[in-house]
Structure formats: C-alpha cells, structure tokens
Amino acid sequence: MSRPDHVLIVDDDEEVRRLLGEYLERNGLRVTLAVDGAEMRRALESANPDLVVLDLMLPGEDGLALCRDLRARSNLPVIMLTARVDEVDRIVGLEMGADDYLAKPFNPRELLARIKGILRRTRSLPPGGGVAHRVRFAGWTLELTTRQLVAPDGLVVPLSGAEFRLLSVFVEHPNRVLARGQLLELALGREREPFDRSIDVQVSRLRTRLGDDAREPRIIKTVRSLGYVLAAVVERLD
C-alpha cells in the first residue's frame, strides 16, 4: 500500500491550522502543522513533506521570504495562502517561486483539489513508449527524467516545479497557441479564475530562465488576446 501524500501547513492562525489539518487528514493526506518559519524549517528536515501550504502573513519572516528561501534550496511544491485582496501580493508570491496561490477565505475542497492537482502533475512520469526523455529547442535541452534545463553553453538552469511543468506543456505543443486557461489546466490542473495572472507570471519567469527578452521574446511569444506559443522546433533526442 502506498504511503499517503504528506502536506506541511504553515499558518500562525491556530484555528486555520487545525481545521485544514483535520479536513486534509479526513481526505487521506498526512499532515504536519507549523506556526512560523522556524517550525517550518524543522518540519522540512524531519518530516520530508511532499508539498507546503504557506501563509503569506506570518510572524517574523513572512511567507514571501520563506518561499524565496525554500525555492533556493528545493523544488518542493508551494501553495501560498493570502488574506490580502491586492493582486500584487499574489503576483509577488508567484515570482518568489510559489506554484499556486489561494485567497482567504476559501473552501477547503478547493485547497484539496489544488494539492492533488499539483502533486499529480509533479509526480507524473516522463512519457514512455518511444517518446523522448530529452528534447532540444532553440539550443536549450530539457531533461524530462531529471527535470533539468540545460543552456546552450551546458549550464544547468534550475526550475521550480511549476516552471518545469509549464515548460513541459510548451515542448509537448510546439508552435501551437495555448490559451491561458489551457496552460493552467495542463500545468496546474485547475481552471482559470477571472483576472487570474498566475500563468503570465510563470511565463515571465520562464522567459527569464531562457534569457528571452520580455519586450521582444523569440522563444515563448505572446499572441495578443489568445495566449502564448513556443515558437521553436522541438527535437526529440532519445
């Protein structure tokens, strides 16, 4: 029998921690609770979670700083929780490396759905049956097995889990315009909400990784009012 997925919840609100923990456990997940950054780091070392649910507003180090620190050391998926309605906070969270965000108050079922969607895509194996595990595009190589992006000069460029999943979607559909809703569904497993800019932020981060000029991108191009397209020939290596 496979072990249950393990989620670390970091929130300084005791009631929120308790309610979310109980709900996720009732739905088959293993849960560890932390109140701040210090407890989060101890849990990361001892509990080995599969995903972190991280509140933005925490005592001491806030969620943005913790997410940035975590992303510098790990590709562990992160869902950011925020009580703020300002979209800027959500965008900054994604820019710090969060895979997704959810604004409070929210239905715990929505959090559960996003956790399962992200973990399902994070753990999806590279396609087999004669389909390549390495692809090359515009001089770059994406290692689908090791989840590494290799620059034309051979330098390995780190990717977050969300960035890897999004780039994988692009290389699977080269030279095809993909709407933002399609990208959200394929990369994160959820539908796009009104005014949702998470894909735009992730595309911006990918362009930075690829050295693609945001003003005149050559690799991932914007198609006005439609979405984005990977404008490159994709060569399957093995």
> pLDDT per residue over 212-222, tens digit each?
998 899 999 99
pTM: 0.68
Tokens of 111: 């959090």
Taken as a whole, the chain contains a residue count of: 238
Q: How far, in Å, CA of 85 to CA of 69, rounded?
A: 24
Q: Do 6-123 and 134-236 have matching folds?
A: no
The residue extents of the domains of the chain are 6-123, 134-236
Rg (CA), the chain: 18
pLDDT at 212: 92
pLDDT at 129: 41
Q: How far, in Å, CA of 37 to CA of 166, rounded?
A: 28
> What is the arithmetic mean of pLDDT over 73-79?
86
Residue bearing tokens 């701040």: 36
**7 in Cβ contact with 108 (< 8 Å):** no
pLDDT-based confidence at 72, cuts 50/70/90? confident
**53 in Cβ contact with 7 (< 8 Å):** yes
Q: How far, in Å, CA of 211 to CA of 226, rounded?
A: 23
Q: What is the CATH number of domain 134-236?
A: 1.10.10.10
pLDDT at 233: 93
Tokens of 140: 């770059």
pLDDT in tens, 127-179: 444 445 889 999 999 988 777 899 999 999 888 878 888 999 999 999 999 99
Q: How far, in Å, CA of 224 to CA of 235, rounded?
A: 27
pLDDT at 127: 44
Phi, psi of 108 (to 5 degrees): -55, -25
pLDDT in tens, 7-58: 999 999 999 999 999 999 999 999 999 999 999 999 999 988 999 999 988 9
**41 in Cβ contact with 8 (< 8 Å):** no
Q: Is domain 6-123 in CATH 3.30.70.20, yes or no?
A: no
